Amino acid sequence: MILSYYKKLTPFAIALISLAGCSKENSDPASILKMKVWVPYQVEILTIDSNRVVVTDKSTGAQKETDAVLKSDTIYLVSTCQQNSLYQFKANGVQTITDACYSNSMDYNTTWSITQTKQMFFSQFVTGLATVTGSLSEINSSQFVFNSIRNMNGYGSSVDANGNQVSTFDILTFTTILTFKSR
């Protein structure tokens, strides 16, 4: 048997649950991107340079290995004109960028796409006119954060002044993190 006190609260509880369900933000990344106009805000570039040098003694064949890792992290706010440039993600994979960095504020039409796993492909001017591919690490109605990772490998082989074989292996990893705010 339900007490009369709880009977009076039941309509209030149903209304509260209904309101909470309606106010839930759409979690589909494509829908969030399409419902807002976006402006670039911040760029972060993480660089990791891993280097291995192996020297092989010509007489004994013994190898001496040296490893070094250099890490750097740079964060900057984009310029005022870039913060006034508009990025619109539209239906059917159409993207429009209104570039405010030039006196004639040109519109550029290009393409974009996003998967259910938040892998994204779009064009941007923040790091130079470039198409970027990566993933969304965060998205809501006020901002989205995009990550792009590039690797570059380098190999080398030479002989030092003593006739020893010197082999080098270098891996550069660049992670670019772009933050856009909604307008």
pTM of the model: 0.74
SS3 letters for 12-51?
HHHHHHHHHHHHCCCCCHHHHHHCCEEEEEEEEEEEEEEE
In tens digits, the chain (183 residues) has pLDDT values of 555 544 554 554 444 444 444 444 557 999 999 999 999 999 999 999 999 999 999 999 999 999 999 999 999 999 998 999 999 999 999 999 998 887 777 888 999 999 989 999 999 888 776 788 999 999 999 999 999 999 999 999 999 999 999 999 999 999 999 999 999
Question: Which pLDDT score, from 0 to 100, does residue 105 have?
Answer: 72
CA distance 40 to 81: 10
Class in CATH terms, 25-182: mainly beta
* Contact assessment for residue 124 and residue 178, using Cβ atoms and an 8 Å cutoff: yes
Residue 121 CA to residue 134 CA, distance in Å, equals 7
Domain definitions of the chain by residue range: 25-182
> Distance (Å, rounded) from C-alpha 170 to C-alpha 159?
18
State pLDDT tens for residues 68-113. Answer: 999 999 999 999 989 999 999 999 999 999 988 877 778 889 999 9
Return the structure tokens found at 101: 């960095």
Decide: helix, strand or coil at residue 75. strand
